[in-house]
Structure 1
Amino acid sequence: MTANPRTIALCIFLFLASALVTLSLRSAHHTGGWLPSVRPGKGSSSRPSQQVLGPKVAFATFLAANANPDAKATDEESAEINDEDDGYFLGTRVLAYQLLHSRTAGTNNSIPFIVLCTEDVSARKRAILKSDGATIIVVEKLNADWVIPGTDRWRDVMSKLRLFQLTEYSKILFIDADTLVTKPLDGVFYDEATLTQATLTNPEQIKDDESALPRTYMFSTHGDFWGYDHPYPPETDLNYLNCGFFVFTPSKVLFNYYLSLLKLPGRFDPGFPEQNLLNYAHRRDGNMPWKPLWYGWNVNWPTEKDWRGGARSFHAKYWDGDPSHDPVLKAIWWRQRAEMEGFYRGRDLARAR
């Protein structure tokens, strides 16, 4: 029996159409899919302009006024020494460079970097960070009389919880300013731990004096090692979370729940203020347990072994003289700082022409 030429042609057409659809779907999956896509733009000094498609994601950090005991009395005096007295401000600038501009550590997608600032961060410093490419959001402080932190530099850290009010974003990765980034982090938004979870309903974990929990939530992070002596890959079944690096979905209901905990003296240990509040709210045996991220996204108490093992970011104050810091990672941070300063000098010279 002779095949009908029209039937053969129709089969070939359907096969080619199916292959084209499959190729398009695979390409979208591997290039970021729902992450902001990059489009070439005019007049950009560092990165292309972007057209955001789908849900919005962001990187974020928190910056309060300089709490360094050796801080200069005025912002003008700090400016005269290039803000060497304000490590967290310098760390925020390096972090902005790493995420937004670095050829090795920067993301391949144009994801905004939010700096949540308290009102007492000087207008000059905010303007510098904005010029660096950061999105500046100034917020009122969030405190409670009974919450007395273990050290003065943590006096305003509760204010970082205001990030949960930014419901225009579907996912935010919070990164402490004292973080070295050596490889892109945009893939963290694909981590399976960042999938939306249904809030559990264990009645024993529901407290009458606390606000209602959201129906769903997402809060993912990693455990704290409490020291440099840890293996790589590290243990992943830890119960105490470290909130120097965490991914979450903003939620007004969840934010109001946190506020209700602040009104209950003794509900959590205030020594590590926001960290212990989050450890209580997202305790592993509670109704909103935190989910562990892939261990390589970030390491607390990091060493060269973690870096050589493939970890992508490292939590430590490399700007200070702490002798316990890993010398290799400290050297990388200082090189990143030098790159940042050279990058902005070149940008400023180009703008002046």
Structure 2
Amino acid sequence: MNTNPRTIALCIAFFLASALITYTLKTSHHPATGPWLPSLRKHRAHFLPHQHLISAPKVAYATFLAANTHSSSSKEDDIPDDEDGYFVGTRVLAYQLLHSRTAGTNLSIPFLVLCTRDVSKRKRDRLKQDGATVILVEKLNADWVHPGADRWRDVLAKLRLFQLVEYTKILFIDADMLVTKPLDGVFYDEATLTQATGTKPEKLLEDEGALPRTYMFSTHGDLWGYEHPYPPDPNLDYLNCGFFVFTPSKVLFDYYVSLLKLPGRFDPGFPEQNLLNYAHRREGNMPWKPLWYGWNVNWPTEKDWRGGAHSFHAKYWDGDPSHDPVLKAIWKEQRAEMEGYYRGREEGSR
């Protein structure tokens, strides 16, 4: 029986192709049944950074909510929820980060809300309905720390974020924030790379706690007013802690607590901000690193927004006439959008 030479050649070609595919799979860095195959089938945009973040240890957004954000003559339950600025701000922030089509996460990054135990269960339940992960924390105080404003009485509890060691990186965002563009990329900012703790013997004090071997703390400098250029000056020394990225660490948290036991070690007027400025001072062993200027602006103006900044730090719910009217209008639109979103979702589930 004669065999067609073309048939023989075709069989040899199929055999060689099969052998080549088998060899490629066996020598690849990725297993043939690994998580990369489903991602390829989904044709995800920006495959490599997204896949890296999904397979890496967890990252999160976070904010802080206390009950003591009103005047000393007001109790939390005396103020309607929709008039409680920090609570409303937290809800708007949750909507912006989790659900907004223009500013929300593309990577399903969770949003943590640290609440002191005196925040009402009603408010905590509402935040859970909004999609936030509520974490109850104990207050953190020191007898000698007297903040410059009554609403800052409990802000030192923010430092309990550093106890959340199940997360590799957390972006902390104050509740009084307008977000107009996604912030997911902040976790890839080069300032968020792990740093070795410095060795400056003259800066190591015996009455302070031990420092971690490595750390990561990155943020922006405080602009101290609306008259600033965009991009802002990158050489600012005093950090603003309304927006910062960090790696949780029990050793670092214990170091912060040790500072609270040393009256006068830092100016308590801005309790947590001045503590962090001391701990991460530029000339110290754990200097803070500057993030890309566009992630966030404090003392923001329309110029910053038109320049491409992603988020803006101001209490747009109050009547402060110094606030930029364009940014305040955008925040109010975001609040209305948030309320409509949840109203539609809840009515649709009935």
Question: Is the shorter-chain TM-score for this pair beyond 0.5, marking a shared fold?
Answer: yes
The 1:346/1:72 distance shift into structure 2, 3 A limit, reads: farther
What amino acid does structure 2 have at the position aligned with 1:294? W
**CA distance 1:303–1:28, shift in 2 (3 Å):** closer
| Equivalent residues of 1:63, 1:121 under 8 A apart | yes
Correspondence list, 1:51-66, <5 A: 53-66=55-68
Question: Relative to 1, partners in 2 of residues 1:327 and 1:74: Cα closer, same or farther, differing over 3 Å?
Answer: closer
Distance 1:128 1:290, change over 3 A: same
Q: Cα offset for 1:30?
A: 4.3
Corresponding residue SS for 1:296: helix
Q: Pairwise mapping of residues 197-216 of structure 1 onto structure 2 (< 5 A)?
A: 197-216=195-214
1:346 paired to 2:347: no
Classify the secondary structure of the residue corresponding to 1:114.
Answer: strand
Equivalent residue, structure 2, for 1:69: 71
Contact 2:69 2:86 in 1 (8 A): no
* Unmatched tracts of structure 2, length 5 or more: 1-11, 31-35
Structure 1's unaligned 5+ residue stretches are 37-52
Identify the residue that residue 191 of structure 2 maps to in structure 1.
Answer: 193
Aligned residue in 2 for 1:78: 79
Counterpart of 1:59, as a letter, is Y
Instruction: Deviation per CA, 1:212-261: give whole Å up to 9, x if none.
Output: 10000000001011000001011111100000000000000000000000
Match of 2:314 in 1: 316
The one-letter amino acid paired with 2:56 is G
The question of whether the paired residues in 1 share the 8 Å contact of 2:92 and 2:335 is answered with yes
> Percent sequence identity over matched residues?
75
Is residue 2:323 matched to residue 1:325?
A: yes
Query: 1:34 offset after TM fit, Å?
Result: 2.8
Residues 165 and 320 (structure 1), Cα distance of their counterparts in 2 relative to 1, 3 Å cut: same
Q: Corresponding residue for 1:33?
A: 51
SS at match of 1:277: helix
**What is the identity, as a one-letter code, of the residue corresponding to 1:34?**
H
Structure 2: distance between partners of 1:330 and 1:21: 50
What CA distance in whole angstroms lies between the structure 2 residues aligned with 1:315 and 1:273? Answer: 18
What letter corresponds to residue 232 of structure 1 in structure 2? Y
1:74 to partner: Cα distance: 5.4
Q: Structure 1 residue 68: deviation in Å? A: 1.7
The whole-number CA distance in structure 2 between the counterparts of 1:331 and 1:30 is: 37
* Structure holding more helix per residue: 2
Q: Which residue is equivalent to 2:9?
A: none
Aligned residue type for 2:70: N
For 1:257 and 1:73, how far apart are their aligned partners in 2?
34
Contact 1:66 1:88 in 2 (8 A): no
Contact residue 71 and residue 78 of structure 1 kept, 8 A = no
Query: Where does 1:1-353 land on structure 2 (aligned, <5 Å)?
Result: 13=20, 30-36=48-54, 53-69=55-71, 73=75, 75=77, 77-79=78-80, 82-84=81-83, 86-352=84-350
Cα distance in 2 for residues equivalent to 1:308 and 1:177: 22
Say if 1:73 and 1:21 are closer, same or farther in 2 by CA, change over 3 A: closer
How far off is 1:72 after superposition? 5.0
- What CA distance in whole angstroms lies between the structure 1 residues aligned with 2:76 and 2:182? 36
CA distance in 2, matches of 1:277, 1:347: 42
Q: Is the 8 A contact 2:98 2:111 kept in 1?
A: yes
The whole-number CA distance in structure 2 between the counterparts of 1:262 and 1:344 is 41
Say whether the 8 Å CA contact 2:67–2:76 is kept in structure 1. no
CA contact (8 A) 2:196 2:214 kept: yes
Larger radius of gyration: 2
Counterparts of 1:164 and 1:21 in 2: how far apart (Å)? 35
Maintained 8 Å contact 1:34/1:55: no
Kindly state the Cα deviation for residue 351 of structure 1 after the two structures are TM-superposed.
1.4
In the alignment, the residues of structure 2 paired with residue 248 and residue 107 of structure 1 have an alpha-carbon distance, to the nearest angstrom, of: 19
Counterpart of 1:83 in structure 2: which amino acid?
Answer: D
- Distance in 1, Cα, partners of 2:343 & 2:88: 16
SS of corresponding position for 2:294:
coil
RMSD across aligned C-alpha pairs, in angstroms?
A: 2.6
- Cα 1:348/1:235, change in 2 over 3 Å: same
TM-score normalised to the size of structure 2?
0.87
